[in-house]
Structure formats: C-alpha cells, structure tokens
Structure 1
Amino acid sequence: MESFLHLSTGGFLERVAARTPAPGGGAVAAMTAASAAALVAMASRFTDWPAGPAEKLRARLEPLADADAAAYTEVLAAYRMPKDDPSRRGRINEALRLATEVPREVATTARAVAVLADDLAERGNRNLVGDVRVAALLARAAAEAADELVAINERAVRLPGT
C-alpha cells in the first residue's frame, strides 16, 4: 500500500472518499493531528521558539495514518474468515486489540500537540494566535475521534458470535 504521506492533499481526500474501508477515521485523525503539529511548528519558528517538540510529534503522527489503515485491513481480513473456522474469533479479537493501539497513540500524541499549542497561544507571537488556536482545536478533535475508535474496537472485542 502506498503511504498516504506521498499523496497530495487532494489525493488523500480522494482515497478517504473512495468506496474502500481504509483510509478511514483513524487515518484522518492522525493526519489532522499531524496538521495541527505542523501549525505549531510553523508558529514556533515565527516566535523563535524551538520547533523541535512539535516536529517530533508530527513525525510520530504522520506514519500513524498508514498504520491505522493497515490495522483496520487486518480486522477486515479476520472478519472475512469462514464463520466455522475455530480460530476466527481469536483472530478477530487479536486484530481488534491491535487496531486499538494505533488510535490510542494518535490520541496521546494529539493531546501533546494541543498542550504545545495552548502554551504557544498564551506566550507566543500574538500575530499567530489564530493558527495555534486552530492547531489546539484540531489536535483535541483528533484525540477525541481517536478515543472513540478505541472504545468502538474495545467493545467489538467483547461481542460474541462474530
């Protein structure tokens, strides 16, 4: 699978809008949080603050879009196994368990982006307060979205008979 990072913004949005299960919400949450981190890095540079912390968070978030799509593909593969296969339930549960790890990391990292953005909004370049407030809002939305995906996958692990 081609990395989403090598697509144009329009190309990524086309992939999201396509009639395919991935990329989906987890990849969008990761890319949204990465975009927020990029805004924080830009604002840091104009404030003469170190951009390194925001760049490290962005670097962590960017590959999570691909990782989320790969994890969800494994979930789908497990659900496609024959229902009478005795290993099916275990494989589904394991795939769902692994599929919670990526959005959990997105949520944690996105929250760290929001903290940086909040700090920069308070003490950074006043001309960029709009950019960092947008970054904080996007990062929090991405974290909340990722938390929701974790909860959905955790509930699905407990469902019998799938």
Structure 2
Amino acid sequence: MHKYLKWSVDELFDRACSTSPEPGGGGVSAMTGCLGSGMLMMVAKITAGNNKYQDVRQEIEILIASIESNIEALKSLAQKDMDAFNGFMDALSLPRETPEQVDLREEKKQQAALLSAGIPLEMARISLANLQSAAELAVIGSKLAISDVGVGANLLEASLKGALIMVDANLPYIRDKKLVYEFVAERENLALKAEELCKLTLERVRSRMN
C-alpha cells in the first residue's frame, strides 16, 4: 500500500497545511483527480443499478472499468510524485567537491528532474482520460445524480491544471532542450483539451439539470 494512504483525512489536511514536502503540489493534484473521478464512479454505479438505464448498461460498465483503472493509476502517481521530489532533493545534497562528484550530481539531478516533470505529465494525461469519461457520462448518467458529474469534471480539470504547473516547475532543471520542447507541446495540448471537455461536460450537465 502507498504510505500516504495510511494517513487519516485529518492528517492529510494537516500535512497539506504544514511545511512538510509531502504531499506537495503533485500529490495533491493526483488526489484531487481521485476525488473527481470518485464522483464519476458514484454516478456511474447509481446509473448501473437503476433499471431505467438498462439500455446504456454496457456503456456504463465500460466507463466504470476505465474510471476505476485511472483512479488506481492516480493513487500510484501521487506516491511516485512524492518519491520523485525526495529523489530530487537527495540529488541536490550530493557532494560536488571533485569533477567526478559534480558530474555524478548533475546526472542524478537530471534523472530526478525528468521524473519530477514526467510523473505530473502522466497525471494530466489520466485526468484528461477521465474528463472524457465525464463528458460521456453527462449524457447517459442518472439524471438524479448528474450534478455530481459536473463536480467531478471541475475537480479533474483542476487536477490536470495543477499537475501541469508541477511540470512547468521542473522543466528549468532539464538540460535536454528537445525534451523540454516535447513536454511544453504536450502540456499545452492537454490544457486545451481539458478546457474543451470540461466546458462540454458542464453544458451537458446543466442541460439535464434544467
């Protein structure tokens, strides 16, 4: 089990308010994505259990499987993000008194920076995937709980945008300019798609709420 999952809710909130590096921005972004995805899962399960929606049962079951898999991935990425930050700090603390030590420190720092940027980028990809599920669920989900799809979509967009800020925070440490360009191009594409999907989902939710 990921160690942060042993924290109580109070402990999580206290840690987030403290000077502790854990959970940090990346971890909180992933957890936010889990909560947003949880809202979608709740609506999907309510829909699956309502005979009124039997005609969309297959589509709902596919959404449930996808959302559940992505929640597990986000849980894992939250822990990986915290571990990556600790690895980066460890790299910065390495000695640099000789040329060999300087080279080793820089190598470790580059490895840690790539992880620290790559992990939140993966969080953003997964949040986007669940935003796509939100857009679909807004059409076929139980009308009784459809407002929670809107809540989930907003949280998933926040999760994605928070993760992308953490990507940006780590890019200055990466020396490979080609990689940096690829990171920036993907982060811009993810942000644009997320805004479009969230807007579409909320339009669908509001339409069914009226």
TM-score (norm 2): 0.70
Count of aligned pairs between the two proteins: 159
Helix, strand or coil at the partner of 2:165: helix
Measure how far apart 1:151 and its partner are: 2.0
Q: Which residue is 1:38 aligned to? A: 38
Q: Which amino acid aligns with 2:157?
A: R
Helix, strand or coil at the partner of 2:94: coil
Q: Which residue is 2:103 aligned to? A: 86
Q: Which blocks of at least 5 consecutive residues in structure 1 are unaligned?
A: none
**Structure 2 residue 172 is matched with structure 1 residue 155:** yes
Q: Which amino acid aligns with 1:14?
A: D
**Structure 2 residue 132 is matched with structure 1 residue 118:** no
Deviations 1:68-126 (A, max 9, x none): 00000001111122343332222111110111221111100011111111211222111
2:39–2:148 Cα contact (<8 Å) kept: yes
Whole-angstrom distance in 1 between the partners of 2:147 and 2:174:
41
TM-score (norm 1): 0.90
Q: Which residue is 1:3 aligned to? A: 3
Runs of 4+ in 1 over 4 A off after TM superposition: none
Q: Superposition RMSD on alpha carbons, in Å?
A: 1.9
Q: Which amino acid aligns with 1:114?
A: L
Measure how far apart 1:2 and its partner are: 6.3
Helix, strand or coil at the partner of 1:151: helix
Whole-angstrom distance in 1 between the partners of 2:123 and 2:162:
9
Whole-angstrom distance in 1 between the partners of 2:22 and 2:88:
11
Helix, strand or coil at the partner of 2:19: coil
Q: Which residue is 1:105 aligned to? A: 122
The structure whose residues are more often helix, as a share, is: 2
Whole-angstrom distance in 2 between the partners of 1:33 and 1:75:
24
Whole-angstrom distance in 2 between the partners of 1:122 and 1:63:
30
Q: Which blocks of at least 5 consecutive residues in structure 2 are unaligned?
A: 49-59, 176-210
Measure how far apart 1:18 and its partner are: 2.3
**Rg larger for:** 2
Measure how far apart 1:28 and its partner are: 0.3
Once the two structures are overlaid, the 10-residue window that deviates more, 116-125 or 26-35, is 116-125
Deviations 1:117-138 (A, max 9, x none): 1211222111212111111111
2:110–2:174 Cα contact (<8 Å) kept: yes
**Structure 2 residue 26 is matched with structure 1 residue 26:** yes
Identity of aligned residues (%): 28
Whole-angstrom distance in 2 between the partners of 1:78 and 1:5:
26
